[in-house]
């Protein structure tokens, strides 16, 4: 591993991924065309990364020449990858932003099911955090304010029976908790 001065460029993130508890991709973005150019190579890398990280809660690992920082919760694994010479703390700040944004979007309910239910918003948030490898924003509250959370007040006529049930159940739950 040869040390060298870092080139002053803005492109610092090579990839971002969210995997489930089987190591399958929920969302992933690769920003550098030279790093795992085909979907197949990406899958192999993700499987490998997952196998190395899903038991050890160690936060950082070097794999295939990339520095990967990660974080997990219930059945989700969040990863941010950068070159092996990149400032690890910058990558960590991106990971924290990703995690906190998702957590705010899902109202602290960070699990696979909730991510899939709000997948559109989570995709928008990922897009607000990093563009083509450049960190756009690393402050989760500003990211969340930019993705325009859906408002829940769907007119009653357009709700499905399930939605009506759900909101009634929640109201009942809250009234019992009081």
Partner 1 sequence: MSGFKRDKKEEEDGGGNPFQNIEKTIVLQEARIFNETSVNPRKCTPILTKLLYMLNQGEQLSAKEATDVFFAMTKLFQSKDVILRRLVYLGIKELSSIADDVIIVTSSLTKDMTGKEDLYRAAAIRALCSITDATMLQAIERYMKQAIVDRNPAVSSAALVSSLHMTKIAPEVVKRWVNEAQEAVNSDNIMVQFHALGLLYHIRKSDRLAVTKLVARLTRTMSSKSPYAVCMLIRIAAKLIEEEGADSNSPYFDYIEACFRHKSEMVVYEAAYAVVNLNRTTNRELAQAISVLQLFCGSPKPTLRFAAVRTLNQVAISHPAAVTACNLDLENLITDSNRSIATLAITTLLKTGAESSVDR
Binding residues (CB under 8 A) for partner 1: these are: 1-10, 25, 27-29, 39-40, 42-43, 56, 58-62, 69, 87-90, 92-93, 112-113, 116-117, 119-121, 123-124, 127, 131-132, 134-138, 146-148, 150, 158
* Rounded Cα gap, residues 131 and 150, in angstroms: 23
Assigned token pair, 44:
């192999």
* Rounded Cα gap, residues 29 and 17, in angstroms: 6
Check residue 44 and report its DSSP letter. Answer: H
Q: Which long-range contacts (CB under 8 A, 24 or more apart) does 151-154 make?
A: none
Output phi, psi for 65, to 5 deg: 75, 10
Kindly tell me which of 43 and 47 has the beta carbon lying closer to partner 1. Answer: 43
Kindly tell me which of 56 and 156 has the beta carbon lying closer to partner 1. Answer: 56
Kindly tell me which of 36 and 178 has the beta carbon lying closer to partner 1. Answer: 36
* Rounded Cα gap, residues 28 and 130, in angstroms: 12
Kindly tell me which of 148 and 177 has the beta carbon lying closer to partner 1. Answer: 148
CB of 10 to partner 1, least distance (A): 4
CB of 174 to partner 1, least distance (A): 23
CB of 159 to partner 1, least distance (A): 10
């Amino acid at each position: 591993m040869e040390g060298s001065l870092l080139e002053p460029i803005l492109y610092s993130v090579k990839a971002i991924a969210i995997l489930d508890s089987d190591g399958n991709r929920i969302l992933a973005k690769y920003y550098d065309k030279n790093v795992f150019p085909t979907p197949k190579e990406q899958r192999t890398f993700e499987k490998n990364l997952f196998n190395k990280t899903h038991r050890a809660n160690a936060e950082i690992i070097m794999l295939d020449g990339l520095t990967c920082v990660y974080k997990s919760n219930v059945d989700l694994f969040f990863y941010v990858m950068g070159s092996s010479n990149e400032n690890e703390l910058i990558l960590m700040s991106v990971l924290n932003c990703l995690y906190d944004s998702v957590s705010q979007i899902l109202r602290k309910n960070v699990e696979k099911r909730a991510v899939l239910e709000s997948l559109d918003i989570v995709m928008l948030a990922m897009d607000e955090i990093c563009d083509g490898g450049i960190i756009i924003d690393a402050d989760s509250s500003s990211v969340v304010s930019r993705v325009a959370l859906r408002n829940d007040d769907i007119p009653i006529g357009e709700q499905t029976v399930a939605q009506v049930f759900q909101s009634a159940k929640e109201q009942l739950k809250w009234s019992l908790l009081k």
